[in-house]
């Protein structure tokens, strides 16, 4: 309700752009999105090709270093990551201190921040070797941290990494295995999770990535900048959406599966209820990642022989929404997280872990964006302006006179 032109004349001319809907704060060579056409490319490579043919660590390399690795470069990168999967024993003990029912996202962000206390000798953002080793440590240790957050929440002992296994396989074993018992990783599940990580690996200047960049613009180190990103990701309008989708589907099921009634509530904006997993700031067309995930959800559920009535509800919701003028006129389509929760659930992850899986996937994107930011001579400390709408000036009144 503020008179913006009056405010502007008082403040001097600034751009008033809540939510940075139309403000570019950096230039970037990492990820290209055409939201109207539904296109996503990492370093020029279409997401569909990467999801089908590449691997998560190869995509991580691509995002961070700008080119696909040669076979030798990929082996070297993978081996380096393998060498750093262990957590310091003192950091391992952190997990004893959190409440049993702690949400794993703040546990993850706390542990990522804590990494900066264990590696104080290599935190200089402008020292290439420091940044390199921090990059490897983050990629290597975050799956260990994530599985420990999970183990803590279910009261099981923490497993050490088994570095004979691949990146995703190791994570699955630490998460679902128990000591002194064999754990055979289902290769199809491992491949699906690897592919989901690829889909989440970067998405240019989204809320968490912008948070990483803005923290880093103050020259906060890589660990603390990325921890800030983890916290931003935990919000239900961002990474928390996959968890919220499953809750929503469960609520609809509990109400007798009346999808039409739920859609009516959304359209009437009853209690601000939204169709979670729908809509995107940038995609005004089908999110290309959602198409890939939808197919994977069908395949994985069939493979696991775990038919899930929630998948039927989700598909019905999509069908109704895509034929309804409310959603069509607002260009609301399923986003990447509309179907991911169903796959994670079928794999055995509880909803609390869904956003953590998003964070594992997004890690190389955050790292690549932080590194691009720190090496960009145009980078300035992030410091938006405001339109001040408070009192102009008034005199202090002692407490007894108020
Ligand atoms: N369900 C119902 N209506 C919606 C939805 C939705 N999911 N999303 C947007 N709308 C409506 C709004 O009510 C608004 O309608 P109005 O013009 O009548 O007021 C219009 O569409 C525009 O919505 P905005 O909130 O202005 O869109 P914005 O670009 O700011 O928000 C967002 C994007 C946050 C993703 C939004 O679509 C949303 O809340 N979606 C649900 C949460 C979600 O799935 N988030 C995941 C995002 S993707 C990711 O992080 C991986």
102-158: pLDDT as tens digits: 999 999 999 999 999 999 999 999 999 999 999 999 999 999 999 999 999 898 999
Q: Of all residues in the chain, what percent carry a pLDDT higher than 70?
A: 98
Contact (CB, 8 A) for 114 and 339: no
Average pLDDT over residues 8-22: 84
For residue 102, what is the DSSP state?
A: -
Residues forming the active site: 280, 337
Average pLDDT over residues 169-198: 93
- pTM of model > 0.80: yes
Ligand 1, CB within 6 Å, residue ranges:
237-239, 241, 266, 274-281, 330, 332, 335-337
Identify which of 60, 243, 205, 206 has the alpha carbon closest to the alpha carbon of residue 142.
Answer: 60
User: In angstroms, what is the span from residue 280 Cα to ligand 1's centroid?
Assistant: 6
Burial category of 119 from C-beta neighbours within 10 Å (exposed 0-12, middle 13-18, buried 19 and up) = middle
Give the residue whose CA is nearest to atom 47 of ligand 1: 238
Give the residue whose CA is nearest to atom 24 of ligand 1: 281
Most informative mutation of 22, 241, 279 for ligand 1 (most atoms within 8 A of CB): 279
C-alpha span between 159 and 178 (Å, rounded): 7
- ipTM value for the complex: 0.94
User: In angstroms, what is the span from residue 128 Cα to ligand 1's centroid?
Assistant: 40
User: In angstroms, what is the span from residue 35 Cα to ligand 1's centroid?
Assistant: 14
C-alpha span between 341 and 296 (Å, rounded): 12
pLDDT band at 180 (very low <50, low <70, confident <90, very high): confident
User: In angstroms, what is the span from residue 245 Cα to ligand 1's centroid?
Assistant: 13
């Amino acid at each position: 309700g503020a008179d913006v032109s009056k405010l502007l004349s008082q403040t001097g001319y600034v751009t008033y752009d809540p939510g940075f809907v139309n403000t570019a704060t950096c230039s970037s060579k990492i990820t290209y999105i055409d939201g109207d056409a539904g296109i996503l490319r990492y370093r020029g490579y279409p997401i569909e090709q990467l999801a089908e043919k590449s691997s998560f660590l190869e995509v991580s390399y691509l995002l961070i270093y700008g080119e696909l690795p040669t076979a030798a470069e990929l082996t070297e990168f993978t081996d380096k990551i393998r060498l750093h999967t262990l957590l310091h024993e003192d950091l391992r003990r952190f997990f004893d201190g959190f409440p049993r029912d702690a949400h794993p996202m703040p546990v993850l962000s706390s542990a990522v921040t804590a990494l900066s206390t264990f590696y104080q000798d290599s935190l200089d953002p402008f020292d290439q070797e420091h940044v390199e080793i921090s990059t490897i440590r983050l990629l290597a240790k975050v799956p260990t941290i994530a599985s420990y957050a999970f183990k803590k929440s279910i009261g099981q002992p923490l497993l050490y990494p088994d570095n004979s296994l691949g990146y995703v396989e190791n994570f699955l074993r630490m998460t679902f295995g128990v000591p002194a018992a064999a754990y055979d990783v289902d290769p199809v599940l491992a491949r699906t999770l690897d592919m989901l990580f690829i889909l989440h690996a970067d998405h240019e200047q989204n809320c968490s990535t912008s948070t990483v960049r803005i923290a880093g613009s103050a020259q906060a180190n890589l660990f603390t900048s990325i921890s800030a990103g983890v916290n931003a990701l935990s919000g239900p309008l961002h990474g928390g959406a996959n968890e919220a989708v499953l809750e929503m589907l469960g609520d609809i099921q509990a109400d007798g599966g009346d999808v039409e009634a739920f859609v009516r509530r959304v359209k009437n904006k009853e209690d601000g209820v939204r169709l979670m997993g729908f809509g995107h700031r940038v995609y005004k067309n089908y999110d290309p990642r959602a198409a890939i995930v939808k197919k994977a959800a069908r395949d994985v559920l069939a493979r696991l022989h775990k038919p899930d009535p929630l998948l039927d509800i989700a598909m019905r919701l999509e069908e109704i929404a895509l034929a309804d003028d409310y959603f069509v006129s607002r260009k609301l389509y399923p986003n990447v997280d509309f179907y991911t929760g169903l796959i994670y659930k079928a794999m055995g992850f509880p909803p609390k872990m869904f956003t953590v899986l998003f964070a594992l996937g997004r890690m190389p994107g955050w790292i690549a964006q932080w590194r691009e930011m720190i090496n960009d001579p145009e980078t300035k400390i992030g410091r938006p302006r405001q339109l001040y709408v408070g009192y102009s000036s008034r005199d202090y009144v002692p407490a007894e006179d108020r």
